[in-house]
Each structure stands twice: as C-alpha cells, then as structure tokens.
Structure 1
C-alpha cells in the first residue's frame, strides 16, 4: 500500500529547516510523528494513512532525509530534537499535540512529554521508550571516546553505492535489519545522487557516540512525569522485549505485537496491527 493522500511540507524554524509529510484531515487531532535513528519520514508511510481522525505531521528529523543538518560544531542530543519539536508545534499553531514515536523518535517523545507534560495530549510509542543509560563511573571515559570520535570523523567519507538497489540491500542488513520494501521506502527519501552513484543524505555526525548518558533513575524520571495517556507497542522480535525488567517499571499501558523493530514499516500486516492498536488508543475519551 502506498500513501494515497500526503502533502510534502517545509518548516522554516528559527535555527533550521525541516521537511515533513502531512497526513489526515485538517481538523484531525494534531500529532507529530518522530522516526528512528538514520530513518526518515517514510518510516510512517504505511502507518499514518491507516490512523483515523488524526492530523499527522511526520518529520524528517534534523540531519535525516530532506531536513537540514545542524551547523558545524553542533550535535544531535535528544533534547535538541525535543527543542525542534516545540518549534514545529509553534509553526503549526499547535499549543497542545500528541506524539507518535518509533525507536529514537519514541525516546525523544518521552523526553519531551516528561519535560513539558502540559503540551502533550497523547503519547504513542513503538519499540522505544527511555534514553540509553550508563553507570556514572564510566562518564569520563565515555566523554573521552566521544571527543576522539568527533576528531576522527573529519577524515572519514560516506560510502558511495553504485546503484539504488545496492544501497537498499545494505540497508536491509543494517544494525537493525528491515524488509526490502521498508528499505526501499527509506531509500526513496534518504538517498541522494553523488559522483559514482548514491549515498545517504544523513549527517555523518549522527553516527558519533553520545558524550553523556543518563543514569537509569534519571532516564525513568521522564517516563514518570508523563501526565497524558501513553501506550507502548513492544515488537516481539524487537529491542524492548529483551528488557522485561525495564518494561515492568514503566507507568505506560503496553501491548506486544508480532514482528521486528520496524514492524510498522516492514509489511502491510504489521502496519495494520499497529494502526489498529493506536486507533483504539486515540479513540479512548
């Protein structure tokens, strides 16, 4: 299934220009959809058209897809994405809005909904929930590794693929494997032509390690401060299923569905299951 009615939009924020896809009726419930790491707005190409009564703005997050990259010297911290979302909401005229997030986008959603609970009406999460955590004893070592990685990145170049199909095949076998159809959708929005073939539009700085990580209690504090209805879809073969102890500590309702980490994008069946789940969630008064 391809998107039947979607509008391409550009959002000129004070500090960056972002691209997005807009789905659903103009009078629908405002929803800002945030994709996962190294993905783009096409992550929601199968899911968003199935959601009822929602005005879904699926962003290319900064550094991804057709959106701008952050200036030299800047980075891609989770709270910087949350800042972007607030500016997007201002431009759309949405004082209050729902968040729909997958993976990294789900983490950003929880950070924002916990930090500013008065702004968020619903929190719909797909196989992602809190920021990655680390023990405080390793903070200095992690900072050093991150600083060195920033220096080393200057001499690196992105891989160039001879054809779109070659890039799609590599994406299928990435850190998180996806179906061919999912890889094609992500490549459709994520690749750009360069001399010798194609490369990904994504900012190379997105691959850098985080210089700082929160403790478990700090990360969970965001989830605990969420005040709106929140529902988490756990992929049976995804990432969160490996952490049952974390799931038990979350104050959100949750549902496990068959499929991998990209279950909402990999095939029509997965998209339909996730849509059914969230249509029921958003329909609750």
Structure 2
C-alpha cells in the first residue's frame, strides 16, 4: 500500500468506519472518495494509489471500508446489510469527514451506492464514476414474496452457522484468486486487509452476514428513476470481459447522459488496467 495513504477511522454512533486517506495540501482541494464492491475493502483500489501519487495531484483522497468490510465495525447480530442503509452510511461518513467538492468513484456495489447517493444529493457531488456497475439492481415486483422468503431463510441459515477458520494465508489468497480471477499480486492487498490471525489459524475480518440474501430489490421503474435523477457529470467504466449484462444495448440505452468507456479486464478491471482507468478518472475529475 502506498505510504502516503494513512489509516484513519471515524465514529458513526457506536460503530467505527475505517478508511485510508491521502490528505491534500490545501483545504479547497477536490475530494475523491473511493467506494469498493461487495466483499472487498479499501485496498481494492491499491493499483490506483501510486498513480495518484506519481501525478502529484492535489486531491484529498479517501478510500472507505464499508460497514462490515475490512477494518470497519460489523453491525450487531440483530442488524443486516440492506442496500439503502449503505447510502445512509455514505452520507454520514461524508458529513463526518467534512468532504467538499466530492467526486465519487465506486466499483460494483460501491458504484450502485454512489449512483443512488448522487441521485438523492446532487448538490453534494461534483462528479460520479462507476466501475463495472451502473443501474441499481432491480426485478419484477411479482418476485417480491419469493425474495422476502429467500432473504429471511438466508438469515436463519446464518444464525445456525458456525464460524470457520482458514488453514493458512495462502489458502485465503487462493480463495480470492478463484472468486475474482485475479493474480496473487492483485488480490494480496485486499486479502491482507480482510484477514487476521488467531493462533495458528486465519479468519476473515468481514462480517459473514454480508452473504445473506437481500430481502428487497427495486422495481425497474424505480431503478431507472434513480439514474434519471443523476444530473452530475457521469462516467461509466466497463471491463471488456466484465459482467455481460452491463454491456447490453437495452441496459446502456437509458444512460445517454453518461460517458461510457470500455477497458481491458474482467469485473475488477481497475486492477487489470489501472493506468487506463486512472486516466479516465483523472479526465473526469479535472473537468469539474
């Protein structure tokens, strides 16, 4: 991890939100806030950090560990991770950190959180960059009873589940390599931030409740209304080998006001083509 990024934390009620920060040299500088994807953490953007430093950019840069991820606190055992609560969490974090002239850069889940926040609070966001995600997940309202049932059943399975340890750090790395299709050097910082040792065993830091299924999902009209409300300058970056549905014409058609760019890579294309992704982000942030 680049040494110019310092480990920080902020209290949100009884919880701690961890983040990495590169402070700016002047108070009026732009604030670029990185929001990672599901089951990742602030280190998901590690390949971009040296590029920010090399360009001597006068940005205040913040990379958040979302609640339940990385070094941030878990929610209590009675509270789960509903999507809209992440938007509330992001709002409270930005207020606590006195972030001004904010450009949100989100990957996957983080990109969806960032788009919803930009739609609800356009006066607080100067630009939006989404990596490998765009329109919030949606489904037919007719599926609501089934989703509710599956979500509650998944919570019940979690309540009856025991925590499993990992035999070695190398096993943890191999698990992330299989899940992300990334090489060791790309996943290592993410794994190291999400791993702690207990005796001769290793355990994940992230909250196992993150794997519980959602009990609610927006309808398509609701999701499209969110994107129509995004009025800030908007960049979408997709990996050429990323999620295919994100590239379908019917999915891209409602995003006419966004700049859409393709780069080499899979779902974590910002780790596979960091220079190209960085240049796109740099161009978008510096236009504002």
Q: With structure 1 as the length reference, what TM-score do the two structures score?
A: 0.93
CA deviations over 1:140-193 (Å, ceiling 9, x no partner): 11101111111111121343221111110011001x322211221111100111
Higher alpha-carbon deviation: 105-114 or 67-76: 67-76
CA distance in 2, matches of 1:114, 1:6: 29
Match of 1:162 among 147, 159, 167: 167
CA distance in 1, matches of 2:133, 2:286: 22
Match of 1:121 among 126, 135, 153: 126
- Per-residue deviation, 1:197: 1.3
Q: Secondary structure at the match of 2:166?
A: coil
**Which residue of structure 2 aligns with residue 81 of structure 1?**
86
- Per-residue deviation, 1:196: 4.5
Match of 2:275 among 259, 272, 275: 272
Contact 1:231 1:281 in 2 (8 A): yes
Higher alpha-carbon deviation: 164-173 or 178-187: 178-187
Higher alpha-carbon deviation: 184-193 or 155-164: 155-164
**Which residue of structure 1 aligns with residue 177 of structure 2?**
172
- Per-residue deviation, 1:242: 4.5
Contact 1:111 1:130 in 2 (8 A): no
**Which residue of structure 2 aligns with residue 208 of structure 1?**
212
Report matched runs for 1:78-117 at 5 Å. 78-117=83-122
CA distance in 1, matches of 2:143, 2:68: 28
Contact 2:138 2:220 in 1 (8 A): yes
- Per-residue deviation, 1:282: 1.3
- Per-residue deviation, 1:195: 4.6
Q: Secondary structure at the match of 1:100?
A: strand
**Which residue of structure 1 aligns with residue 236 of structure 2?**
232
**Which residue of structure 1 aligns with residue 269 of structure 2?**
263
Contact 2:238 2:269 in 1 (8 A): no
CA deviations over 1:50-82 (Å, ceiling 9, x no partner): 233321110010000000011222121222111
Match of 2:201 among 197, 203, 213: 197
Contact 1:24 1:49 in 2 (8 A): no
Contact 1:161 1:199 in 2 (8 A): yes
Contact 1:125 1:232 in 2 (8 A): yes
Change (3 A) 1:74 1:166: same
Residues 1:142 and 2:147 are matched in the alignment: yes
Contact 1:161 1:196 in 2 (8 A): no
Change (3 A) 1:79 1:49: farther
CA distance in 2, matches of 1:83, 1:16: 14
CA distance in 2, matches of 1:149, 1:133: 19
CA distance in 1, matches of 2:130, 2:23: 19
Q: Secondary structure at the match of 2:264?
A: strand
- Per-residue deviation, 1:37: 0.4
Q: Secondary structure at the match of 1:259?
A: coil
Higher alpha-carbon deviation: 209-218 or 87-96: 87-96
Residue ranges of structure 1 left out of the alignment (5+ in a row): none
CA distance in 2, matches of 1:231, 1:118: 18
**Which residue of structure 2 aligns with residue 12 of structure 1?**
11
- Per-residue deviation, 1:236: 0.5
- Per-residue deviation, 1:6: 0.9
